[in-house]
Amino acid sequence: MPAVPLIRRTCSCVLILALAAFSSLAQAQKSTSSYEPQSGQAGKDVVWVPTPQVVVDKMLDMAKVTKDDFVMDLGSGDGRTVITAAKRGARALGVEYNPDMVALSKRNAEKEGVTAKATFIKADLFETDFSKASVITMFLLPAINLKLRPKILNLKPGTRIVSNSFTMDDWQAEETATLGPETGCTSFCIAYFWIVPARVGGTYKVPQGELNLKQLFQMLSGTLTTEGKTFALEGKVRGEEITFTAGGREYRGRMNGKRLELR
Ligand SMILES: C[S@@+](CC[C@H](N)C(=O)[O-])C[C@H]1O[C@@H](n2cnc3c(N)ncnc32)[C@H](O)[C@@H]1O
């Protein structure tokens, strides 16, 4: 076989292959960038339904998100909560199992000009370390909230948690907000807010006497023995801050590591 036609044939084959590769790449890019999620579409443990934007705003208001926060959205969908937090100046990370949703979130963050603050990872929320977050947002399911609850209660005291529509079973929310139809919200319009409480249950010698605290999440009961009398107490722990009333007096304190400072 003559050498020149062989070279020519080889060249055309390489060209055809390159063109085919380029066209399938272009096709893939086109189909990814035109990906349109459908509300209710399947997800690993929860379907995707977006949180209405007014509820996103309310959730971040309840958590008082500022530029000093690191917000993590567990199951971040199209990225709206992360992007909104980033627009408030916070660093925010979305954890999402569906890679198409992760790619969509990244494009959305780019459109909104917040890629420096808003990042997304393709990961399973059950296998993700969220201990560095100062605020956690979620719109999952009651059973998932309950499954995550022990991990959440082990976070740094003071970490703020906000959930769209679903509670934490018998861990009462610190605050609940219901958005009415006048806000434009028609479904999934309730936001719940919690603060991870320090572990304060136990008996302490304090300048006032002896304090015995029983703790159920953020709720405190127990007794204060002071000046030879024992009073029942009722109170709350908010992050590391403690308040309670006993014998008609209000007390404030702070859990400093394992030490309780009572004022
Ligand atoms: C109800 S949507 C909420 C989306 C977003 N947080 C919002 O409020 O608009 C739940 C999201 O969690 C994602 N998801 C489900 N199971 C997951 C898992 N195990 N790990 C990470 N993401 C998950 C779904 O793909 C879906 O996007």
Chain segment 140-184, per-residue pLDDT in tens: 999 999 999 999 999 999 999 999 999 999 999 999 999 999 999
Ligand 1 — pocket residues by CB below 6 A?
43-46, 48-51, 73, 75-77, 80-81, 95-98, 101, 124-126, 139, 164
Model pTM above 0.75: yes
Could you tell me the sign of the dihedral formed by the alpha carbons of 149, 218, 133, 166, in that order? positive
Query: What percentage of the chain reaches a pLDDT higher than 90?
Result: 86
Pocket test for ligand 1, best of 80, 98, 124, 127 (most atoms within 8 A of CB): 98
CA distance 165 to 55: 10
Strand order in the sheet with 175-178: 118-122, 91-96, 70-74, 135-138, 160-164, 190-195, 175-178
How far, in Å, CA of 105 to CA of 119, rounded?
9
- For residue 107 the two structure tokens come to 């494009």
d(CA 76, CA 50): 9
Whether the predicted pLDDT of 192 surpasses 50: yes
Q: Contact at 8 Å (CB) between 207 and 262?
A: yes
Which residue in this structure is represented by tokens 């956690």? 136
